[in-house]
Amino acid sequence: MNTKEMVKAFTEGKQNEVFGIQETVGDDGVVKKFHIDAQALPEIRQTCPRKIFRDMLGSDWESQVYSHFTRFPNTFHAVQESGGLVTASALSPINAATALTAGLIGAQAKSEFQLAAFQYAKFVTEQSTSVFGGHKFTLASVTVDDQLNKPLVEGEQAPALGASPFWLWSQRQEVRQAGIQFTLEALLSDVNGAVTAATNPAAGAGYELKRQINKRALELLFGRKNTYCVNNLESNTPNANTYRSTNGAGILDYINCASAELTTAESLNTAYNILAANHHPINPNWRMGFDKTMTVWVHPVRLMQTMQIIRSLQAWRTDGSTALGSAAVVNVSGNQLQLAGYQIEVEDYGYYGVDVLAAAGTEYDGSAIAAIGTSDQDDIFVFQTSKQAIIHESMQALVTRTLPLTGDDMLKRVVYRGDALLVDQLVMAEPRNLYKGGE
C-alpha cells in the first residue's frame, strides 16, 4: 500500500486496515489482543515519518514542516506572515501527515511487541480478561472414590459424588506505560527511517513492554516472586510459595523442589518421580496433566551438558537396563526410569533469567529472598511437565494512544507525542507442574 492509499484509508477511518492490524475487542469495548498480518510487517518496519511527510507534502516538505512547527505555536490559530488566520484547509496536509505518522508509530510499537521473541511464551498460557481487580478461577473440584467401581444391585441407591471448593485468586491487574515522542529535529535528520528497536522510540517501547512480561514470568518460574493464592477465603493475598521442599497440609500437600543439581539422567528422573508422587489438590485419583513433551530450563552454560544427559535418558529402556553406554556411566540406583518414553526439550532461560536470579526475590508473605551468587546460578534448573503452571492475563493488549499536541509542544517543536499502554498480570496457577532443583 503506497502513501496515497494509506491516506485515503486513514481518512475513511480504517486506521487498523492501513497497517494490517486486527484487534479483538471484548463486550466491554476493551481491546483484548491484536495481531498484525505478516505481509504488513516489512512495510511497517521500513516506512518512516520522513517518507510520509515527503510523499504527502512534496519535495519542499522540510520547509513546510519547519515553518509550521517554528512559526506557529498553536496549530489552529497560527498567524500567517500576511497577518491572516491559517485555515483548517491550509493545515490539512500537515495534519493528515501527522495523523498518519501517529498511526505508523502505533503500528511500529505493536509490530515490535509481536515480533520480539522471548522464553515466556514457551511456559506461559495466554488468556484475556475484562477484570481489573483480583478475581477467582474456579477449578475442578469433584471428589470421587472407588464406590463407582462397585456394580449396583436392583433397588440399591447410587453413591453421591462429593465436591470440594477449589479456586485460585489472581492479583490485581498492573498498568505499565511507555511514553513516545519525537521532535522536529529528529524528523528532519531521520535519514534511514530509524526502523529498528534500538533506534526507533516506538519499536523500543513495544520491545520493552514485551521484555518486562518475560522478566516477570521468569520471576514466577524461578520462585523469585511468589503469587500462588489458592482457596484463600478472605482476599487475593498470596498464601503459599510456588516451590515447597516439604509437604504442607491439606491443599498445600505437595513437594516440588530439592537441592540436587541436574548432573545425571538419574537426577532428572528423580525430579519427575517427585512430581509424579503429588496428587491433585482435591481428587487424589486424578493425576496431574503431564504432557508427553516436557521442558527442562537450564542456565545457558549448562545447555550442551543437559542435552547430553537427556540423550542418555532417552536411550534407556523402561525396564531399567541400558541400550547405550555402560552401567558404570548410567547408574539408576534402583530408581524407576519413568521418563524413558517422554520427549524432553532443553531450553536455556537466557541471560534475562540470570538477571532474575541475581536479584533479590520475595516470599509469599513479603519476606525477602536473597540474591543468588554467580557461582551458584548455573546449578538451578526448572523441570516443567505442563504449560498450565503460569497464566498471563491481559486486560488490554498493547494499546497505543496519540495525545493531543499542546502549545508547549509546538514551542518545543514536538511533532508527535503518545504512549504505549499494557494492562496485565501473571498468575501462578499450578506449581505441581514445576520442579526446581539446584538451590
Nearest to residue 267, comparing CAs of 324, 312, 203? Answer: 312
The Cα–Cα gap between 11 and 13 comes to 5
User: What pLDDT is attached to residue 118?
Assistant: 93
Per-residue pLDDT band at 155 (split at 50, 70, 90): very high
Per-residue pLDDT band at 210 (split at 50, 70, 90): very high
Specify the range with the lowest mean pLDDT, choosing from 15-29, 109-123, 251-265, 424-438: 15-29
User: What pLDDT is attached to residue 80?
Assistant: 42
User: What pLDDT is attached to residue 330?
Assistant: 42
**pTM for the model:** 0.85
Per-residue pLDDT band at 65 (split at 50, 70, 90): confident
User: What pLDDT is attached to residue 175?
Assistant: 95
User: What pLDDT is attached to residue 289?
Assistant: 75
The Cα–Cα gap between 4 and 9 comes to 9
Per-residue pLDDT band at 427 (split at 50, 70, 90): very high
CB 340 within 8 A of CB 353: no
The Cα–Cα gap between 316 and 320 comes to 7
Work out the number of other CB atoms within 10 angstroms of the CB of residue 34: 19
* 382 pLDDT above the threshold of 60: yes
> Taking the mean position of all CA atoms in its chain, how far away is CA 408?
37
> Taking the mean position of all CA atoms in its chain, how far away is CA 314?
31
Task: Between 89 and 126, name the one with better pLDDT.
Answer: 126
CB 289 within 8 A of CB 370: no
Cell numbers 504488513 correspond to what residue? 40
* 276 pLDDT above the threshold of 70: yes
* 264 pLDDT above the threshold of 80: yes
Among 1-10, 309-318, 388-397, top mean pLDDT goes to 388-397
Per-residue pLDDT band at 12 (split at 50, 70, 90): confident
C-alpha cell read off for 140? 475442578
Alpha helices in 169-321 (DSSP H): 184-189, 201-221, 265-276, 303-315
Amino acid 106 reads G
What are the domain boundaries of the chain?
A: 3-119+180-199+405-416
Contact partners, residue 319, CB within 8 Å, separation at least 6: 337
Nearest to residue 172, comparing CAs of 431, 429, 395? Answer: 395
User: What pLDDT is attached to residue 72?
Assistant: 53
The Cα–Cα gap between 129 and 124 comes to 15
What average pLDDT score do residues 212-231 get?
Answer: 96
Q: Strand 142-143 and strand 136-138: pairing?
A: unpaired
Cell numbers 536411550 correspond to what residue? 315
